[in-house]
Amino acid sequence: MSAKKHIRAVLGFAAVGALALGLTACASGDGDDGASGDSGDSGDLISVGFVAVGPEGGWRQANEQNIKDTFTEEAGYKLSYAPAANLDQKSQIDSFTAFVDQEVDVILLSATEATGWEDSLKLAQEAEIPVVLLDRGIEPDDTSLYVTRIAPDNVEVAKEVGEWAAATFPDGGNYVVLEGPAGVGVVNERNKGFEEGLGDSPLTKVDAQTANWSTEEGKSVLETMLKANNNDIQFVFAQNDEMGLGAAQAAEEAGLTVGTDIKIATIDGTKNAIQALADGKLSYVHEYNPLFGETAVDVVKKALAGEKVDSYIIVPSQAFDSADAAKAVLADRKY
């Protein structure tokens, strides 16, 4: 009996009809979409279906590449990578269902949207296929439907941004928020944490709009906000680096000096943002560490062995509050 079949026998996995639609294995991390092809005979390899987000900026690219680089054939895995089509949840649900029908050993899920996953997770549970959430959580958060969520703590990370802002503006000022897409759990988590961090700060919120994680939209949205407020904005909280980098461009084009006239804080900690902080184009960057592939491998091993796993595994992340702090890590930055 192969190791894969032995694992199924130990866990009592139920057999379901295999779907003709296959998902291309991406064990080498070459980035091929998992939309076609035959999963084939993986022998003793553990089959892993990765329901991914796909192209969404530097953080996502680093995170998904790290997963691909970790779940390799050399490590004993056959990873099938299925990115969402244009960030569409339906395409993710279709991929999830296909993985269940293919009887993969485990499913990794990075959800494009927080809600709407109950039926899919119950389907996997009925097939006795463990599901591990990567990065984003689900709503409602029924921990009985998945093994664990592996991610930095969005609320805590954003809370630290809020605390920094409150300390930086003790006399108050006007601020705006550039948010990710509506309906994404991370947006709510980062808003919650940031507001907790602000506490009773005299900072005044004058606007908040989505800029869809995009540099271009971050630039255009802040341009509009600055015009509407006669440039009277002292602080920008951008929920990711790309939007913050766009905001920096808009501020400069409006004649404002970042660091003096206006301060910009971002979350993610990509190398581009760390470089911008070192160059004085951003004021504060909080890392949202994407490199947790090894943690995911450890969780998968434990789940398949029937071992208990905590329902939320927090990935440590650090903050950078000055150009000097940014310069100190630039040379070794991996993403």
289 vs 318: CA distance, rounded Å: 8
Same fold, 3-150+291-304 and 154-288+320-330: yes
pLDDT band at 56, cuts 50/70/90?
confident
> Residue 28 has which token pair?
């080498």
Whole-model pTM over 0.85: no
Find out whether 90 and 103 touch, Cβ atoms under 8 Å.
no
Confidence label for 6 from pLDDT (cuts 50, 70 and 90): very low
pLDDT digits (tens, 9 = 90+) for 196-215: 999 999 999 999 999 999 99
Q: Average of pLDDT values for 58-63? A: 93
Is the pLDDT assigned to residue 31 strictly greater than 90?
no
Which pLDDT band holds residue 23 (cuts at 50, 70, 90)?
very low
Q: Domain spans of the chain?
A: 3-150+291-304, 154-288+320-330
Query: How far is it, in rounded angstroms, from Cα 332 to Cα 335?
Result: 9
pLDDT of residue 39 exceeding 90, the answer is no
Question: H/E element holding 266?
Answer: strand 263-268
In the predicted model, what is the mean pLDDT of residues 34-46?
A: 56
Interhelix angle for 185-198 vs 154-168, to 10°? 40
Number of C-alpha atoms within 13 angstroms, CB side, residue 259?
12
CATH 3.40.50.2300 fits domain 154-288+320-330: yes
Quote the DSSP letter at residue 245: H
Is residue 29 over pLDDT 80? no
What is the predicted pLDDT for the residue at 145? 97
Neighbours of 43 (CB within 10 A): 10
Task: Average the pLDDT over 268-290 and give the result.
Answer: 97
pLDDT band at residue 43, thresholds of 50, 70 and 90? Answer: low
Cα–Cα distance for residue pair 321/142, rounded to 1 Å: 36
Query: Domain 3-150+291-304 has what CATH class?
Result: alpha beta
Q: What is the rounded average pLDDT of the residues 167-185?
A: 94
**How many whole angstroms separate alpha carbon 180 and alpha carbon 238?**
9
Round the average pLDDT of the chain to a whole number and report it: 89
Sequence length of the chain is: 335
Token pair recorded at residue 247: 């905001």
Return all residues near 121 (Cβ < 8 A) that are at least 6 apart.
Answer: 131, 138, 142, 145, 146
